[in-house]
C-alpha cells in the first residue's frame, strides 16, 4: 500500500511526516521522490546504500547519413532540433526523449544516446528500506527518476515523500498512491497551498486526509479549511522546540521521544484504517 | 544586407519586441532596397524551444544580421552556426533602430541570456 505525503509548498513537513511514519511502521519502505532536494536519507542514513544512474535517451545525428530533409526538426514539438549549415543541431536540454525524430528519420541517421540526469539510491536501516532519487543540478525535470523509483514493487506500507507543489513531478508521484496525506501549515499562506494540493488529489480522485503541522494555540486557518471542505484531520503536530531540535539534528522523533512515537504511531494507525476503509468501499 | 527584427506589429511604425522567440512578428528588411516585409512568427505559440524555432526561421530567410533587445543561448547557437550577427537594439522604435544600424550605431549583443524557461521541460 502506497501512501503519498504531499504539500503545496516546501518546508511544511512532508519529510518529517513521511520519515516518522516509516519509522513508526518499523517494517516499511520510504521513497524520497523529492529528487531536486532529497533529504530523507539524512534521517535514515542507510549504511549499505547502492546507487544506480538514471539516463534518458537523447538523439545523436550521423551527419554523413543526414540528407537535410528536416523531417526531424519539423516533427519536434519542443524544437530541440535545428538544421543549420547542412547539419542538425541537437539541444539535449530541451529534448523530451520521445524518440520521434529517430523513428521518423528516413535515412536512419538518428540514434539515441543515454544521457545521465541523476541517480537512485537504495539502502536499508533498521527495517526501513530507504530509496532516494537525486536529480543532477541544472536538470529541469526529475520525472524519469521518479518513475525509476516507483516502478519497483513494494510489500507492506510504503511512504512516498513527494516533491513540493502540484506540478508534473507531484502528479507523477501520486499517480499510483492508494492514499494521500496533505501536510499543512496554520497560516493563510499555508491554506492557499493546501487548497492547491487538495484540488490536485481531488482531480486524481485520491482518498486523502490532512496532517496539520506546526500547530499553535489559537486559530488555525488550515484546520478551518479542512472542516469547511470536509477533509479528515488525521493528526495535529505541535510547533514544539524539542521536535524542531530532534529534526534539525537529523534525528527521527518517533524513535527518540516517547510522546512523538505515540503521536506518529497513532497517525500511522489512523492512516492504515483510512486506507483499509477506502479499499473496502 | 538583409536584416531581421522581432516586432510587436506589422508596420514600420511598430516597436521592437522585447522577446525574440515569442515576438508576434518578424520584420525582414533589405537595407539596399529598403523593402520591408512582415511575417507572423510561428514560433510564438511553440510549446517549448521558441527561440530555436524562431532562429531556425530567421536562418532560412538568409539574413545576415538580427537586431534584437535580447537573445537566449539556444537561439544564439542556431544563429551563430549560420554566421548571423546579433546586434542589440536601443529603445523601442523600429525605425530608429533601422537608422541606427545603417549608421553603425548599434552595438553587438554580448549578453546572451541562458533562457527563461525550464531546460529539459519533461512532461
Name the more confident of B110 and B119.
B110
Domain extent listing, chain B: 2-102
Is A235 a residue whose pLDDT tops 70? yes
Among the partner-chain residues B47, B55, B123, the one whose CB lies closest to the CB of A77 is: B47
Q: What is the pLDDT of residue B120?
A: 43
Is B63 a residue whose pLDDT tops 90? yes
For a pLDDT cut of 90, what percent of chain B falls above it? 87
Is B119 a residue whose pLDDT tops 60? no
Q: What is the pLDDT of residue A141?
A: 85
Asked if the C-beta of B81 comes within 8 angstroms of chain A's C-beta atoms, the answer is yes
CA distances (Å), origin A70, targets A135, A176, B53:
33, 39, 13
Contact criterion met (CB below 8 Å) for B38 and B11: yes
Asked if the C-beta of B61 comes within 8 angstroms of chain A's C-beta atoms, the answer is no
Phi and psi angles of residue A18, each rounded to the nearest 5 degrees, phi first: -65, -45
Average pLDDT over residues A59-69: 96
Please tell me which residue of chain A has the smallest CA distance to B58.
A84
CB atoms within 10 A of CB A110: 23
Q: Please write the tens of the pLDDT for every residue from A97-119.
A: 999 999 999 999 999 999 999 99
- Mean of all residue pLDDT scores within chain B: 92
- Please give the ipTM for the structure prediction: 0.87
Size of interface A-B (CB pairs under 8 A): 82
Average pLDDT over residues B99-113: 93
Q: What is the pLDDT of residue A48?
A: 83
Domain spanning A56-116 has what CATH number?
3.30.70.20
State the Cα–Cα distance between residues A57 and B28, nearest whole angstrom. Answer: 37
**Cell for A251?**
534525528
All CATH 3.40.50.300 domain ranges in chain A, comma separated: 2-54+118-280
Q: What is the pLDDT of residue A118?
A: 97
DSSP β-ladder status, A208-215 and A232-238: parallel
Query: DSSP label at A41?
Result: H
Confidence grade of residue B123 (pLDDT, cut at 50, 70, 90): very low
**How are strands ordered across the β-sheet holding B85-88?**
B36-40, B25-30, B2-7, B65-68, B85-88
Average pLDDT over residues A19-44: 96
Substitution target from A84, A86, A144, A172 for chain B, most B beta carbons within 10 A: A84
Q: What is the pLDDT of residue A279?
A: 81
Q: What is the pLDDT of residue A93?
A: 82
Q: Please write the tens of the pLDDT for every residue from B15-42.
A: 999 999 999 999 999 999 999 999 999 9
With an 8 Å Cβ cutoff, the interface of chain A facing chain B consists of 56, 73, 76-80, 82-85, 87, 89, 91-97, 117, 138-141, 143-144, 168, 172
Inter-chain residue contact B48 with A78, CB threshold 8 Å: yes
Q: What is the pLDDT of residue B30?
A: 97
Q: Please write the tens of the pLDDT for every residue from A176-228.
A: 999 999 999 999 999 999 999 999 999 999 999 999 999 999 999 999 999 99
For a pLDDT cut of 90, what percent of chain A falls above it? 89
Confidence grade of residue B116 (pLDDT, cut at 50, 70, 90): low
State the Cα–Cα distance between residues A238 and A71, nearest whole angstrom. Answer: 60
Q: Please write the tens of the pLDDT for every residue from A131-187.
A: 999 999 988 789 999 999 999 888 889 999 999 999 999 999 999 999 999 999 999
State the Cα–Cα distance between residues A153 and A160, nearest whole angstrom. Answer: 13
- Mean of all residue pLDDT scores within chain A: 95
Confidence grade of residue B115 (pLDDT, cut at 50, 70, 90): low
Residues 6+ apart with CB under 8 A from A262: none
Confidence grade of residue B121 (pLDDT, cut at 50, 70, 90): very low
Rounded to the nearest 10 degrees, the angle between the axes of helix A221-229 and helix A188-203 is: 30
What kind of fold does domain B2-102 have according to CATH?
Answer: Nucleotidyltransferase; domain 5 (3.30.420)
State the Cα–Cα distance between residues A27 and A81, nearest whole angstrom. Answer: 48
Contact criterion met (CB below 8 Å) for A259 and A237: no
State the Cα–Cα distance between residues A163 and A168, nearest whole angstrom. Answer: 10
The class that CATH gives domain A2-54+118-280 is alpha beta
All CATH 3.30.70.20 domain ranges in chain A, comma separated: 56-116
Amino acid at each position: 500500500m502506497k501512501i503519498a505525503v504531499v504539500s503545496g509548498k516546501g518546508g511544511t513537513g512532508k519529510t518529517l511526516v513521511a520519515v516518522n511514519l516509516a519509522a513508526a511502521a518499523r517494517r516499511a519502505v520510504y521513497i524520497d521522490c523529492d529528487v531536486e532536494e532529497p533529504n530523507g536519507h539524512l534521517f535514515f542514513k542507510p549504511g549499505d546504500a547502492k546507487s544506480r544512474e538514471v539516463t534518458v535517451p537523447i538523439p545523436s545525428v550521423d551527419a554523413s547519413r543526414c540528407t537535410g530533409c528536416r523531417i526531424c526538426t519539423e516533427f519536434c514539438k519542443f524544437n530541440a532540433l535545428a538544421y543549420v549549415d547542412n547539419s542538425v543541431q541537437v539541444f539535449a536540454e530541451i529534448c523530451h526523449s520521445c524518440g520521434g525524430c529517430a523513428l521518423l528519420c528516413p535515412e536512419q541517421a538518428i540514434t539515441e544516446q543515454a544521457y545521465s540526469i541523476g541517480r537512485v539510491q537504495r539502502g536499508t536501516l533498521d527495517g526501513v528500506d530507504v530509496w532516494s532519487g537525486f536529480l543532477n543540478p541544472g536538470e529541469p525535470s526529475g520525472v524519469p527518476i521518479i518513475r525509476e523509483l516507483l516502478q519497483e514493487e513494494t510489500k507492506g506500507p510504503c511512504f512516498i515523500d513527494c516533491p513540493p507543489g502540484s506540478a508534473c513531478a507531484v502528479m507523477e508521484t501520486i499517480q499510483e498512491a492508494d492514499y494521500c496525506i496533505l501536510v499543512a501549515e496554520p497560516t493563510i499562506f499555508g491554506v492557499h497551498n493546501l487548497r492547491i494540493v487538495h484540488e490536485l488529489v481531488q482531480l486524481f480522485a485520491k482518498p486523502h486526509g490532512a496532517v496539520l503541522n506546526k500547530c499553535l494555540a489559537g486559530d488555525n486557518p488550515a484546520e478551518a479549511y479542512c472542516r469547511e471542505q470536509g477533509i479528515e484531520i488525521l493528526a495535529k503536530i505541535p510547533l514544539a522546540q524539542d521536535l524542531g531540535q530532534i529534526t534539525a539534528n537529523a534525528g527521527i522523533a518517533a524513535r527518540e521521544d516517547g510522546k512523538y512515537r505515540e503521536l506518529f504511531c497513532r497517525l500511522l494507525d489512523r492512516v492504515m484504517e483510512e486506507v483499509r476503509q477506502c479499499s473496502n468501499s | 544586407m538583409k536584416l531581421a527584427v522581432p516586432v510587436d506589429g506589422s508596420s514600420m511604425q511598430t516597436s521592437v519586441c522585447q522577446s525574440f522567440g515569442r515576438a508576434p512578428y518578424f520584420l525582414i528588411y533589405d537595407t539596399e532596397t529598403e523593402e520591408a516585409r512582415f511575417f507572423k512568427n510561428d514560433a510564438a505559440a511553440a510549446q517549448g524551444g521558441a527561440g530555436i524555432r524562431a532562429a531556425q526561421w530567421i536562418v532560412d530567410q538568409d539574413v545576415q544580421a538580427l537586431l534584437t533587445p535580447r537573445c537566449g543561448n539556444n537561439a544564439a547557437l542556431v544563429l551563430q552556426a549560420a554566421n548571423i550577427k546579433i546586434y542589440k537594439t536601443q529603445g523601442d522604435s523600429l525605425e530608429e533602430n533601422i537608422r541606427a544600424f545603417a549608421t553603425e550605431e548599434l552595438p553587438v549583443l554580448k549578453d546572451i541570456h541562458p533562457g527563461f524557461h525550464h531546460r529539459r521541460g519533461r512532461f
